């Protein structure tokens, strides 16, 4: 009997507490403060650098990118080199290091300007003409006798793909593969070519390219993507 009374009292207390919670206005409930960082990576992707407060972030890659887009290439490279090999940003950092090390400041400045135009063109409605300006810059850089031409081809292909100019992008891929045969970027460019063939409805040609990746570059991480594409 005493045990039943105790259980009933506990039940009554629970019901009372639930009633209090339900009837309490949301404004008076305690809210746990969350330490949410602003979406700086998204601002970076869109080229909205003015929204990034460098005093509130310890993101080494982000800080390096800000240096890079501010044409401070020597300072940028120092930060890129601090990024751990285990970091998800490692490959992008190595890509930037290779780009900076092999080219003049003038060429790098023009390349950065093209990249900024591209980012602004893709992230802000009505800025499609900025991508056309980027293309003009890249067409000139593609003719340079330095590694900037390789990087310019890659960015040029990305811009054409984002503009849905797939046939022109495929032609640029083919030109890249002839000019930079067996470059470390070759599997990636082949994969881009294959996916764009799919986008224009030429599945047969896409399959041929995916198989080429598997045969010629079986150890490349891109081969896993090619295998997945073949399974679809």
Q: Render the burial of 134-168: b for 16+ CB within 10 Å, e for the rest.
A: bbebbeebbebeeebbbbbbbbbbbbbbebebbeb
Higher-pLDDT residue of 21 and 81 is 81
Residue 100: count other Cβ atoms within 10 Å of its Cβ: 17
With 70 as the cut, is the pLDDT of residue 12 above it?
Answer: no
With 80 as the cut, is the pLDDT of residue 5 above it?
Answer: no
Global pTM? 0.78
Question: Are 111 and 102 a contacting pair, CB within 8 Å?
Answer: no
With 80 as the cut, is the pLDDT of residue 177 above it?
Answer: yes
pLDDT of residue 17: 53
Higher-pLDDT residue of 2 and 203 is 203
With 60 as the cut, is the pLDDT of residue 22 above it?
Answer: no
Integer Cα distance of 155 and 151 in angstroms:
6
Question: Are 40 and 78 a contacting pair, CB within 8 Å?
Answer: no
Crossing angle for the helix pair 60-69 and 105-123, to the nearest 10 degrees: 110
At residue 152, the 3 state secondary structure works out as: helix
**Percent helix, strand and coil across the chain, each to the nearest 5:** 70, 0, 30
Cβ-proximal residues to 172 (8 Å cutoff; 6+ apart), any chain: 153, 156, 157, 160
With 70 as the cut, is the pLDDT of residue 36 above it?
Answer: no
pLDDT of residue 26: 42
pLDDT of residue 206: 96
With 50 as the cut, is the pLDDT of residue 33 above it?
Answer: no
With 60 as the cut, is the pLDDT of residue 227 above it?
Answer: yes
Measured in degrees and rounded to the nearest 5, phi and psi for residue 88 equal: -65, -15
Work out the pLDDT band at 40, boundaries 50, 70, 90.
confident
Question: Are 197 and 171 a contacting pair, CB within 8 Å?
Answer: no
Higher-pLDDT residue of 208 and 51 is 208
pLDDT of residue 182: 81
**Pair of tokens at residue 161:** 């793909």
First to last CA, the chain: 67
What domains sit in the chain, N to C, each tagged with a CATH number? 166-232 (1.25.40.10)
Measured in residues, the chain has a length of: 232
pLDDT of residue 9: 58
**Quick one: average pLDDT of 186-202?**
96
Alpha helix ranges (H) inside 124-165: 128-141, 148-162
- Report DSSP letters for 50-71, one per residue: GG--GGG---HHHHHHHHHHTT
Kindly report which listed range (37-41, 67-71, 122-126) carries the lowest average pLDDT score: 122-126
Q: To the nearest whole number, what is the mean pLDDT of the chain?
A: 85
Higher-pLDDT residue of 43 and 3 is 43
With 50 as the cut, is the pLDDT of residue 122 above it?
Answer: yes
**Quick one: average pLDDT of 5-9?**
55
With 90 as the cut, is the pLDDT of residue 150 above it?
Answer: yes
Integer Cα distance of 87 and 80 in angstroms:
11
What sign for the dihedral angle of Cα 173, 187, 164, 129?
A: negative
With 70 as the cut, is the pLDDT of residue 192 above it?
Answer: yes
Integer Cα distance of 168 and 131 in angstroms:
15
């Amino acid at each position: 009997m005493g045990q039943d009374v105790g259980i009933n009292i506990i039940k009554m207390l629970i019901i009372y507490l639930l009633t209090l919670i339900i009837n309490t206005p949301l404004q008076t409930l305690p809210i746990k403060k969350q330490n949410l960082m602003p979406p700086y990576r998204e601002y970076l992707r869109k080229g909205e650098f003015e929204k990034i407060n460098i005093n509130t972030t310890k993101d080494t890659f982000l800080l390096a990118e800000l240096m890079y887009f501010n044409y401070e290439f020597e300072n940028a490279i120092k930060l890129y080199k601090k990024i751990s090999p285990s970091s998800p940003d490692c490959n992008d950092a190595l890509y930037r290091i290779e780009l900076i090390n092999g080219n003049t400041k003038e060429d790098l400045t023009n390349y950065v300007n093209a990249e900024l135009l591209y980012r602004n063109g893709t992230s802000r409605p009505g800025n499609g003409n900025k991508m056309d300006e980027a293309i003009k810059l890249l067409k000139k850089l593609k003719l340079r006798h330095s590694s900037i031409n390789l990087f310019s081809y890659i960015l040029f292909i990305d811009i054409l793909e984002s503009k849905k100019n797939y046939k022109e992008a495929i032609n640029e891929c083919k030109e890249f593969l002839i000019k930079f045969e067996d470059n470390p970027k070759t599997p990636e460019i082949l994969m881009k070519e294959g996916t764009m063939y799919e986008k224009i409805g030429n599945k047969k040609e896409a399959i041929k390219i995916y198989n080429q990746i598997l045969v010629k570059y079986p150890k490349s991480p891109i081969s896993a993507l090619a295998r997945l594409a073949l399974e679809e």
